Amino acid sequence: MNSKIESLILDKSFDYLQPYFYNNPFALRCELGVGKTSEGYIIQARERAEKIYNILFPSKADAIIFNQWIYDWSDSGDAEKYEYDGDADENIDFRIKSEARALRFLLEKMMNYRHVSVKGLKTYDEPDDPDVRRNRIVCYADNTGFDDLELINKQISDEDNSEVSLVSFKNECILSVYDDRGCDIVFSTYEKMREFYYQLEPFFLQYDYEIMKKRLNNKVINV
């Protein structure tokens, strides 16, 4: 294993939880959705995401990572009714469909790709919520490959909740599109962040520009 980013995604101590940009010292944040109309906004988001993808993944992704969230729905307290908003049947149907989509996505990837499950990872509410567990699934492209842009577009359009991220072993980075607003690129080393900084600068989210500039100048290594 020669890639540091591969070592990280296989390491249980590597949390990789949102917000990725603020939780990782060698990270850049880009804006995707721009434009005055709804249609133009989505078109720009997809076009900008594809340009960023082509910069980072000229030979396509080496792997993808995503979370498997496991919920203990049976734990509703002591002699209490389960708390929910709205209609009970609608709430049940929504949760069943959500679980089914997540399970289908998981099984499709595990049955079609060489993979590793990194289990028992930190969750957002840990240790306050013991009824939620998280595993990170690492799937390798090998000779099969993924439909990278389709995965990105699904993240943009929020068609699933798999939080899929693309990984490049050569360029030592993880590309995570969080929705149509933007994406985070996490590098394993300062050198790789610096190598791609100016290529990605035209896409930077201006709100976080000063943080990225400081990271480039090596004035801070964490925020």
Supply the DSSP string of 100-162, one letter for each residue.
HHHHHHHHHHHHHS-EEEEEEE--TTTTT-TTEEEEEEEEE-TTT---HHHHHHHHHHT----
> 11 is written with which tokens?
């390491």
Residue 51 has a pLDDT of 98
Give the whole-angstrom CA distance, residue 148 versus residue 53.
Answer: 9
Residue 38 has a pLDDT of 77
Among residues 21, 18, 8, 28, which one has the least CA distance to residue 223?
Answer: 21
Is the pLDDT confidence value at 221 over 60? no
Q: What share of the chain is helix, strand, coil (3-state, %, to 5)?
A: 40, 20, 40
Of the listed ranges 39-48, 123-132, 213-222, the least confidently predicted one is 213-222
Tell me: the pLDDT tens digits for 99-154? 999 999 999 999 999 999 999 999 998 767 788 999 999 999 997 889 999 999 99
Q: What radius of gyration do the chain's Cα atoms show?
A: 19
Of the listed ranges 22-31, 76-85, 133-142, 182-191, the least confidently predicted one is 76-85
Is the pLDDT confidence value at 39 over 90? no
Of the listed ranges 55-59, 69-73, 213-217, the least confidently predicted one is 69-73
Q: In percent, how much of the chain has pLDDT > 90? A: 72
Q: Find out whether 70 and 134 touch, Cβ atoms under 8 Å.
A: yes
Give the whole-angstrom CA distance, residue 209 versus residue 201.
Answer: 9
Residue 163 has a pLDDT of 87
Residue 115 has a pLDDT of 97
Instruction: Give me the sheet containing 27-31, strands edge to edge.
Output: 27-31, 182-187, 173-179, 165-168, 63-71, 132-140, 115-121
Q: Which residues of 107-126 are buried (b: 16+ CB within 10 A; e: fewer)?
A: eebeeebebeebeebebeee
Residue 77 has a pLDDT of 65
